[in-house]
Amino acid sequence: MVSQTFTILNPTGFHVRPTKTFVQTASAFPCKINVINKGKKVNGKSSLSMLTLGIAANEEVTLEIDGEQEQQALETLGKLLTEIHE
Amino acid sequence: MTRTLTGIGASPGIAIARAFTLSSERYLPEKTAIADAKREIGRFREAVAVAGSEIEAIRASAEAKLGAGKAEIFEGHLMILEDPDFIDAIEDKIGEEAINAEFALHEVSQSFVELLQSMEDELLRGRAVDIEDVSSRIMSRLRGVPHSDLANLTEECVIIARDLTPSDTAQLNLDVVRGFITEVGSRTSHSAIMARSLEIPAIVGAGASVRDIPGRTLVVMDANEGLILFNPNDEQLEAYREKKRTDDLRRAELAQLKDRPTVSRDGKRVELAANIGKLEDIQRALDSGAEGIGLFRTEFLYMGRGTLPSEEEQFASYKYALEKMNPKPVVIRTLDIGGDKELPYMELPKEANPFLGQRALRLCLDRPDLFRTQLRALLRASAYGNLKIMFPMIAVLEELLDAKKLLEEERAKLLAEGVRVSDKIEIGMMVEVPSAAVSADLFAPEVDFFSIGTNDLIQYTMAADRMNETVSYLYQPWHPSLLRLIRLVIQAAEKEGKWVGMCGEMAGDPNAIPLLLGLGLHEFSMSAGSILSSRELIGQLNRAEWSDHAIRALGMRGTREITQYVQSIRNGVTG
């Protein structure tokens, strides 16, 4: 299992659009992807669960990834978390 | 009897038609035990598949009608149909509890709806509608009933509903639907956004009283004012018909100006830009026909938080703005904190006269660490668009030179690090301190542009605190003293071949624009909503004539005389 914590830079937080991109990307990986924010852990392949986290700007988000291609998933998804989105 | 209600005007325009009231009763399934869970799951999957192809059809038609951006919402709906935490939860429930698909769907969808509705963020709360929209479609399929009333409307009407789902809105038959009114919602709810792109009048958040309106009642809705009249009398009806004719005509005229350049009647080209204070404002600026961003206030990056924003954070925001506007220019103003804008975490000392104290660039030069971080972020972002950097609150030349020196030092460091930096960044300064206006000729050789900040320039010229109501009569943008300062700045700039903009409230004021055009202002930066009407106004003005009028105004005795003079000429010109 690999794990790393990122800070959300997007000024409006991690909203609908970035969540969509994140979940689509996450779903393409075979490994299990958990997203942890404010003490709550959800499935990174579920956009509804991701939205219920209400991830705001400057918050920390930890990715916990387990399984095939875990390192590659961590890098790709970590980058998405720290980018600026529409 | 006539009744009047008010709501939030979410999409402008006026509509007059009979009400079509959409029932807000929701189907509540009963829990029943089933014998064959496998078959029930199969029935659920089939309903999901049909719902999926229906949503895909709506998505495709929304994309054709409204463009890819607005169709995105339905991609979100399709994602809900594939969401493991949603679909698997329903199937597990059917299997484990041996209950009917309808009830399992209802339970799971309600649990997500409640979670989202309890969230602080308004945008996320709004997403609950998406789940309800998708769930009710699957529910209709499971029950074998037609899904929506709205797609089959054939009579001219104004729709009245508790709320409209995105798929309701996208399927509205625009040949007959004249507008809609909802009980709940805000300017940012989906139905509001859709209404603006469909260009139909909409009033949202009108409250529970809309429920009492019987179907087929005659309705007048003025979404410009957020006003709704039921059963208007003949006089009101006639007045609103007339108002609607004028309003429709005007809207069509202004819409044509969106992608046009701004040119005076005698052929002088000027630029209309938007003032923005956060990244979300950029799309609105583009939609409103802005030719650039004339003032990007960076304070939003520093406020509402506990620490200074990092270089990385700032870079990401600046890059986003520049890419989105490219190739149009973006004038970014460096931090303007102090005065009435405080940052608690910086623990700045209390000052007796904050407006005359260490604000904006004065503070930045005293705290070069903080300033250098912002300059580096700006320089790095410059590679991604058309950046112009502007320094606020400059009183003497040394301040400008010091700021430029820091900027050049950071540029050299970045280049040495191998970072890409544009070599075409224009450097400008705000003119808001009278000393800078009076001696603009001293600054002109050292800048690429000036931008006149009228709100502060007026308060400093008149020595009148703009927060103090007892001296508010001194807030006089048209006073000869102001016009003379503006003229000095423009003359000094022209001598050096530089341009002058204005980013105070005066730049978007239809009564000030003729004089400013006459004085030779090159760029007018205003709130996005004023751009199209300003473009139209400038198209009616003869700049050469207004140049003469402006010179005459400079010699008048006061504000009253000048405003009356401007009014009399404008009335003469536009009839």
Q: Indicate which of A17, A29, A37, A46 best probes the interface with B, i.e. most B CBs within 10 Å of its own CB.
A: A46
Looking at the structure, do residues B203 and B351 belong to the same domain, yes or no?
A: no
Whether residue B543 is annotated as binding a ligand: the answer is: no
Token pair in block for residue B215: 């179907």
Per the prediction, chain A carries an average pLDDT of 91
For chain A, positions 65-84, list CB contacts with chain B under 8 A.
82-84
pLDDT for residue B149: 65
Which residues are paired to B17 by β-bridges? B219
Closest to B202 measured CA to CA, from B218, B176, B178:
B178
Looking at the structure, do residues B128 and B163 belong to the same domain, yes or no?
A: no
CATH topology of domain A2-82: Histidine-containing Protein; Chain: A; (3.30.1340)
- Domain termination site, one of B124, B143, B162: B143
What is the total count of domains within chain B? Answer: 3
Q: Rounded to an integer, what distance in angstroms lies between the CA atom of residue B139 and that of residue B132?
A: 10
Looking at the structure, do residues B339 and B428 belong to the same domain, yes or no?
A: yes
CATH code at position B167? 3.50.30.10
Q: Tens digits of per-residue pLDDT, A47-78?
A: 999 999 999 888 999 999 999 999 999 999 99
Cβ pair B191, B182 in contact under 8 A:
yes
Supply the range of the domain harboring residue B462: 262-574
Whether residue B432 is annotated as binding a ligand: the answer is: yes
The CA-atom distances, in angstroms, between B437 and each of A77, B295, B487, B557 are 51, 19, 9, 21
For residue B29, give the H/E element and its range.
none
Spell out a b/e string for B243-252, using b for 16 or more CB atoms within 10 Å of the CB, else e: ebeebeeeee
As for the ipTM of the complex, it is 0.92
In angstroms, the separation between the Cα of residue A72 and the nearest Cα of chain B is: 22
Find all residues with CB under 8 Å of B528, minimum gap 6, and list them.
Answer: B274, B276, B281, B284, B285, B287, B288, B290
The phi and psi torsions of B561 (rounded to 5 degrees) equal -60, -40
Q: Per the domain annotation, does B495 fall within a domain?
A: yes
Looking at the structure, do residues B70 and B191 belong to the same domain, yes or no?
A: no
Find the CB nearest A51 among B116, B300, B319: B116
**Residues A2, A12, A13, A15: which is the catalytic one?**
A15
Confidence of residue A25 (pLDDT cuts 50, 70, 90): very high
Looking at the structure, do residues B566 and B545 belong to the same domain, yes or no?
A: yes
Q: Per the domain annotation, does B29 fall within a domain?
A: no
The CA-atom distances, in angstroms, between B232 and each of B148, B208, B209, B241, B248 are 30, 20, 17, 11, 20
Cβ pair B181, B211 in contact under 8 A:
no
SS3 letters for B470-533?
A: HHHHHCCCCCHHHHHHHHHHHHHHHHCCCEEEECCHHHHCCCCHHHHHHHCCCEEEECHHHHHH
- Domain termination site, one of B204, B225, B255: B255
Whether residue B386 is annotated as binding a ligand: the answer is: no
Let me know if A85 is a catalytic residue: no
Find the CB nearest A46 among B85, B120, B319: B85
Q: How many CB atoms lie within 10 A of CB B567?
A: 11
Instruction: Tell me, yes or no, if B119 comes closer than 8 A to chain A by beta carbon.
Output: yes
Cβ pair B19, B229 in contact under 8 A:
no
Looking at the structure, do residues B62 and B163 belong to the same domain, yes or no?
A: no
The DSSP secondary-structure symbol of B285 reads H
* B120–A54 C-beta distance less than 8 A: yes
* B85–A42 C-beta distance less than 8 A: yes
Instruction: Answer whether 0.90 is exceeded by the pTM.
Output: no
* A11–B301 C-beta distance less than 8 A: yes
Q: Per the domain annotation, does B31 fall within a domain?
A: no
Q: How many CB atoms lie within 10 A of CB B458?
A: 23
Looking at the structure, do residues B73 and B192 belong to the same domain, yes or no?
A: no
Q: Which of the residues of B are catalytic?
A: 190, 503
How many residues comprise chain A?
Answer: 86
pLDDT for residue B574: 46
How many residues comprise chain B?
Answer: 575
pLDDT for residue B339: 72
- Domain termination site, one of B213, B236, B255: B255
For chain A, positions 41-60, list CB contacts with chain B under 8 A.
42-43, 45-49, 51-52, 54, 56, 58
Closest to B337 measured CA to CA, from B353, B359, B352:
B359
With beta carbons under 8 A apart, name residues in chain A contacting B297. none
The CA-atom distances, in angstroms, between B177 and each of B133, B151, B157, B316 are 20, 10, 5, 42
Instruction: Tell me, yes or no, if B86 comes closer than 8 A to chain A by beta carbon.
Output: yes
With beta carbons under 8 A apart, name residues in chain B contacting A10. 316
**Is the four-CA dihedral B227, B233, B236, B241 of positive or negative sign?**
positive
Closest chain B residue to the Cα of A21, Cα to Cα: B76
Q: What is the CA angle B156-B178-B204, rounded to 5?
A: 130
Find all residues with CB under 8 Å of B197, minimum gap 6, and list them.
Answer: B66, B67, B70
Closest chain B residue to the Cα of A18, Cα to Cα: B76
Beta B293-297 vs B269-276: how paired, if at all? parallel
With beta carbons under 8 A apart, name residues in chain B contacting A43. 84-85
Whether residue B299 is annotated as binding a ligand: the answer is: no
Looking at the structure, do residues B317 and B197 belong to the same domain, yes or no?
A: no
Q: Rounded to an integer, what distance in angstroms lies between the CA atom of residue B496 and that of residue B492?
A: 7
Q: Indicate which of B80, B120, B313, B318 best probes the interface with A, i.e. most A CBs within 10 Å of its own CB.
A: B313
Which residues of chain B fall short of a pLDDT of 70?
Answer: 24-25, 149, 573-575
Looking at the structure, do residues B44 and B16 belong to the same domain, yes or no?
A: no
The domain limits of chain A are 2-82
The CA-atom distances, in angstroms, between B223 and each of B209, B220, B239, B259, B427 are 17, 10, 15, 25, 42
Q: Tens digits of per-residue pLDDT, B184-201?
A: 888 777 788 778 777 899
Q: Per the domain annotation, does B200 fall within a domain?
A: yes
Instruction: Tell me, yes or no, if A16 comes closer than 8 A to chain B by beta carbon.
Output: yes
Looking at the structure, do residues B124 and B270 belong to the same domain, yes or no?
A: no
Closest to B193 measured CA to CA, from A16, A9, A11:
A16
Whether residue B39 is annotated as binding a ligand: the answer is: no
Whether residue B466 is annotated as binding a ligand: the answer is: yes
Looking at the structure, do residues B132 and B161 belong to the same domain, yes or no?
A: no
Which residues are paired to A3 by β-bridges? A64
The residue type found at A56 is A
**Is the four-CA dihedral B284, B286, B292, B296 of positive or negative sign?**
positive
Looking at the structure, do residues B11 and B81 belong to the same domain, yes or no?
A: no
pLDDT for residue B334: 97
pLDDT for residue B575: 36
In angstroms, the separation between the Cα of residue B317 and the nearest Cα of chain A is: 7
In angstroms, the separation between the Cα of residue A70 and the nearest Cα of chain B is: 20
Instruction: Tell me, yes or no, if B76 comes closer than 8 A to chain A by beta carbon.
Output: yes
Q: How many CB atoms lie within 10 A of CB B510?
A: 12
